[in-house]
Structure 1
Amino acid sequence: MTAPERGTLLVDARGRVGVFMGMGGPRYMLRPLGGGLEWEADPGVVRPATSTERLRAENARCNARSRGDVL
């Protein structure tokens, strides 16, 4: 399996949407769209985010930014 491009939005097995940051050994490293700590995800169970999931993640980021939680 080829790794996605950096910045691709993916959904992990728990339903969390994250930005693909790179590889951590054999695992994908994902980061919340609004920033925060990266987490590891199994490449065999992640999938690209749907348009609805992308919209929700962007909306959450905008809300966090309006509260001053995100630069």
Structure 2
Amino acid sequence: MSAENGPPKMQELTQPPPPGTLVADTSRRERDRVGEFRGVAGPYWMLRPAKGGPEWEALPECIRLATPAERLGARTARENARSRGEVA
């Protein structure tokens, strides 16, 4: 099997991404793992769910860039929450 047909390579981060970048926290369960990068607080990176809600702290070694499918799901969840009036 060639590398082209395998699963996409997950892009690990060695430095904090720009604020607003959608990332995945691999230490959390599948449903709640994608969030927007908000900043750095001590040894942790702060993430916020794309659909709104409280920020959470994550260890940098557990963070990777969100896949295209994860980004689409997060954007869809945000738009759905916006249509329900849950976020601005």
**TM range, smaller chain:** over 0.9
Percent identity over the alignment is 56
Runs of 4+ that moved beyond 6 A: none
> Alignment length, in residue pairs?
71
| 1:10-49 → structure 2 map (5 Å cutoff) | 10-13=23-26, 14=28, 15=30, 16-49=33-66
Structure 2 unaligned residues grouped into runs of 5+:
1-13
1:52 aligns with 2:62: no
How well do the aligned residues superpose, as a CA RMSD in angstroms? 1.0
TM-score of the two chains, using structure 1 as the length reference: 0.92
TM-score of the two chains, using structure 2 as the length reference: 0.76
Structure 1 unaligned residues grouped into runs of 5+:
none
